[in-house]
């Protein structure tokens, strides 16, 4: 059986992003730090959205270009990496 770290929350039954976020906040507070947090769950938000139509509507609403670029990067240039042990 594979052994995983106690601080891994993804791909484990009964654990989710909420557990990971709480863990980070708890550790920071225990170390005397303050915490400012913004979390967005995009896991299913854009699976079925016509991105061209979305950005067209946002531009029609005069959304600042910087925010549009940020959203575009989050949606189109997003990637992830999984680290297992020392590999």
Which among 41, 33, 52 has a CA at the least distance from the CA of 10?
A: 41
Q: Provide the token pair at 36.
A: 């400012």
Question: Cα separation of 46 and 42, whole Å?
Answer: 7
* Per-residue model confidence as pLDDT tens digits over 6-15: 777 777 888 8
Return the DSSP state at 15.
Answer: -
Q: Are 37 and 55 in contact (CB under 8 A)?
A: no
* Per-residue model confidence as pLDDT tens digits over 17-65: 788 888 888 988 999 988 887 767 766 666 677 888 988 999 999 999 9
**Whole-prediction pTM:** 0.40
**What's the Cα-to-Cα distance from 68 to each of 25, 49, 59, 65, rounded to whole Å?**
29, 16, 8, 5
Q: Provide the token pair at 70.
A: 């940020």
Question: Cα separation of 48 and 31, whole Å?
Answer: 42
């Amino acid at each position: 059986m594979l052994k995983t770290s106690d601080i891994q929350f993804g791909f484990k039954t009964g654990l989710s992003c909420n557990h990971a976020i709480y863990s980070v906040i708890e550790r920071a507070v225990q170390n005397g730090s303050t915490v400012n947090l913004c979390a967005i769950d995009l896991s299913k938000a854009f699976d079925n959205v016509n991105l061209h139509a979305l950005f067209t509507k946002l531009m029609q609403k005069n959304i600042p270009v910087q925010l549009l670029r940020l959203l575009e990067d989050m949606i189109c240039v997003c990637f992830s990496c999984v680290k297992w042990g020392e590999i």
